[in-house]
Structure 1
Amino acid sequence: MSILASPCKSPKCRLQQLPSELLIRIFLFGQNPAFVSTCKSIYTISRSPLIRAQFILRRYGPLAALSERCLTSLPIARQLPVVDYLLKLRADPRADADYLLWQSIREQNVNLTILLVDAIQPDTRTLQQYLNGAASHGSISMVDLLVARYGASIDHGDGTVMMLACAENRVELVRHLLTRYHCDPHAFRDQYLRRACLSGHEALVELLLPGADVHAFNDAALQNAVHKNHLGIAYQLLAQGASANVNRGACVILAVQQHHVPILRLLLDHGADPRCQQDSPLQLSCRMGLLDVAQVLVEFASERLAMINTLKGMPLYEAFRHGHADVVDFLLSGGADPSLPLAQQGLHEAILHNHVACVAQLQRAHTELPLPRPLAQYKASASGPMFQLIQHWAS
């Protein structure tokens, strides 16, 4: 009873749990040399690909013999000779939407792919889908097989094969397509380059850049690189002649919005206008509290004082309104005039929103400046610390 209750799961323990009558029969059969020889023969026969294929067909049926479920649970079903017999026995080669074929393309199994494609006999459209899949996985051997043996077309009208190879950063396949199949790297106004710049594939950009029109679609390649913060690619494009001031300073605006300081500095080093779109970059940086961005913009401005006081004090207004005390301090130390109309409006809103640190910065720098509104107007809305500060200031 203790043996029967044993939790042991080893083969020896499980054998000991068999009834004694069955153990005796096993012992007696084991003394017969013919039984041992028969077992070995049966084991050898069971390894036959034909026997295995027959077993799989009986268990799963012809429609699912090459399905994902079968191939996952029975590794023997993936063996090339077994697949060959399954196909000869009319198993469906396209089970589960060509599951096994896509696996063979992904693994670059040429012989298995040949077996399956020969059995499928795909039409032109399906063949192009297989070719596109091979391109996505960067399989040079699969691409060459589908083109040479089955007549798939590398250029079937829309450059999909090249685009997929570029999108997945398959640099070696792209180089192969350019050298062996003479694909045009600049087709569709350098769409491959623009995609590579968006995805951040530096090696691919380096391959596609020679001879490219970097100004296509309003320097879209550079705008893509800046948008995704790909510094190395942006440098390559600018070195190739891309315009840092493209689209009324759109790249500068993007770099500010996304707080990409190295790219912003790179653009400004290549002649971008820090005051584009009526000083929108500085306005944005002050609104967002990006002190390092504001410092870089002012550093590259030719008329720094005019920039800091642009639009009747707009930078101070944004910094006050959104409570960025460090930006307020930077602007004031750079010569910002708090008496300008918008600066006064910003101070008023800073008081109403209880941005104590901002107001304290101004109070320390300009003790003689009057409040933008009479003190009584702030009594109801200002917090205790804020009201004490402005009350002391007014007195």
Structure 2
Amino acid sequence: MDADTLRQFVKFSQEGDLSSLQQQLTTGGPEAVQTARCKHYGRSGDTLLHYASRHGHRDVVEFLIRTVGMDVEVYNNDYKRPLHEAASMSHRACVSFLLQEGAKVDSLKKADWTPLMMACTRRDLAVIQELLQHRADPALRNKDGWNCFHVACREGDPLVVQHLLLVAPDVWRTESKTRRTPLHTAAMHGCEEVMSILVERCGYSPDSRDSCGVTPFMDAVRNGHVSVARLLLEKHQASPTAADVLGSRPVHQVAVTGQEGALRFLVQELHVDINQRATNIQLTALHYAAKEGHTSMMKTLLELGADLHARDNKGRTALHMASIGQHPEAVRTLLQLGLPDCQDASGTTARQLAVRPRVVQAFESPTDTS
């Protein structure tokens, strides 16, 4: 078949133009039908059935399966079946028809994602219910160890989360391969309604830790979700000062991510010590903010009482960290605030750590605002 005809096949399938597709196949005869049945397109390896399913054209899907004779389990280069496509885009009519035609409800695409997991990336309970009614297994896990409940908690639809708990009461008892729970996931994404459900109905232990030692409370504050962090404190007895495996605590983590509102919450409401040290190399929050180049966060830290002259266990000040991170504005700000360029324990000055020309210039012209 010529390239123009093939493009027409794809166009009609994507747009749901069934009559034009039928006419094109009739005109092209058996060769055209054979091509439509077997052809995979582009780098993705999609078929016409993938296109029609992705765009929700149920009549085209039916025509391709029942008249053209396409395999309901045909897969592309990522091993995605038409059912994955329909489920991921919340096309219930296509999902229902594909299942009726014998599509495997728990087929796996690349990375071991099932259609149910794909459906949970959308806030469409009807499609999820359709898959579950056809005995989709909510406990199946993908290559990262996530099941559909992790995905639903990330998306944050309380109705979906409640329904999954209803049909599979133990589905929350899962961890990813990095030991992250759905509670971590919901906290990280600020899904407050879902967090309330998880805290009330699921048996997560306070301050459950992933493989890096991160707790849900840490996930909440370092992403700026103060209301979620407050919920974990009030209803889940979370610790605002727990340390991860590297010894950093929430006050350090918000400095890294530049979450000034979360910093004020920790210091002003929870009275967390702004100068507490990370247990590994005794870094303060000011060190972390300087290394990341967060000049506004540095000023907020100092406003709240951070020690400008604090040193870590290698004798480094925040100025050393700003220079290590190659952040000229942070260097200039610290110099303007009165932090001198002194030596660390090895005799190295912050100026000697500067590599980029703009960082070197910041030391030479600390008052330059250009």
TM-score class, shorter-chain normalisation, is: 0.5 to 0.7
Residue 273 of structure 1 aligns to a residue in which SS?
A: coil
Provide structure 1 residue ranges, at least 5 long, that are not aligned to the other structure.
Answer: 1-60, 361-370, 387-395
Residue 79 of structure 1 aligns to a residue in which SS?
A: helix
Name the structure 2 match of 1:295: 264
- Native 8 Å contact 2:255 2:263 kept in 1: yes
Residue 194 of structure 1, CA deviation:
0.8
Amino acid at match of 1:118: R
In the alignment, structure 1 residue 166 sits paired with structure 2 residue 120 = yes
Question: 2:285, 2:54 → 1: CA distance?
Answer: 56
Name the structure 2 match of 1:359: 338
Give the number of aligned pairs: 302
Match of 2:238 among 251, 272, 281: 272
Structure index of larger Rg: 1
Name the structure 2 match of 1:46: none
Question: 1:83, 1:184 → 2: CA distance?
Answer: 41
Question: 2:254, 2:52 → 1: CA distance?
Answer: 52
TM-score, structure 1 normalization: 0.57
Amino acid at match of 1:132: H
In the alignment, structure 1 residue 141 sits paired with structure 2 residue 93 = yes
- Native 8 Å contact 2:120 2:152 kept in 1: yes
Question: 2:197, 2:285 → 1: CA distance?
Answer: 33
Residue 191 of structure 1, CA deviation:
0.6
Q: 1:143 to 1:357 in 2, by over 3 A?
A: same
Residue 359 of structure 1 aligns to a residue in which SS?
A: coil
Question: 2:227, 2:283 → 1: CA distance?
Answer: 27
- Native 8 Å contact 1:135 1:162 kept in 2: yes
Name the structure 2 match of 1:68: 7
Name the structure 2 match of 1:214: 172
Match of 2:304 among 330, 334, 337: 330
Relative contact order, higher structure (CA 8 A, sep 6+): 2
Residue 274 of structure 1, CA deviation:
1.3
Amino acid at match of 1:273: S
Question: 1:339, 1:64 → 2: CA distance?
Answer: 69
Task: Note the 1:85-164 alignment, pairs <5 A.
Answer: 86=26, 89-90=29-30, 92-93=32-33, 94-95=35-36, 97=40, 101-102=49-50, 104-105=52-53, 110-123=58-71, 125-126=73-74, 129-148=81-100, 150-156=101-107, 160-164=114-118
Higher helix share: 1
Question: 1:139, 1:67 → 2: CA distance?
Answer: 25
Name the structure 2 match of 1:232: 193
Amino acid at match of 1:143: V
Q: What root-mean-square deviation, in Å, do the aligned CA atoms of Structure 1 and Structure 2 show?
A: 4.8
- Native 8 Å contact 1:197 1:221 kept in 2: yes
Residue 196 of structure 1, CA deviation:
1.9
Name the structure 2 match of 1:246: 208
TM-score, structure 2 normalization: 0.60
Deviations 1:19-68 (A, max 9, x none): xxxxxxxxxxxxxxxxxxxxxxxxxxxxxxxxxxxxxxxxxx7x789743
- Native 8 Å contact 2:149 2:171 kept in 1: no
Question: 2:261, 2:84 → 1: CA distance?
Answer: 46
Deviations 1:200-255 (A, max 9, x none): 44442232133144341145212222333333333332233434512144333333
Residue 224 of structure 2 aligns to a residue in which SS?
A: coil
- Native 8 Å contact 1:64 1:92 kept in 2: no
Residue 167 of structure 1 aligns to a residue in which SS?
A: coil
Deviations 1:241-279 (A, max 9, x none): 434512144333333443333333333333221111145
Amino acid at match of 2:90: G
Q: Structure 1 residues 342-351 or 123-132, which shifts more?
A: 342-351
Name the structure 1 match of 2:357: none
- Native 8 Å contact 2:25 2:32 kept in 1: no
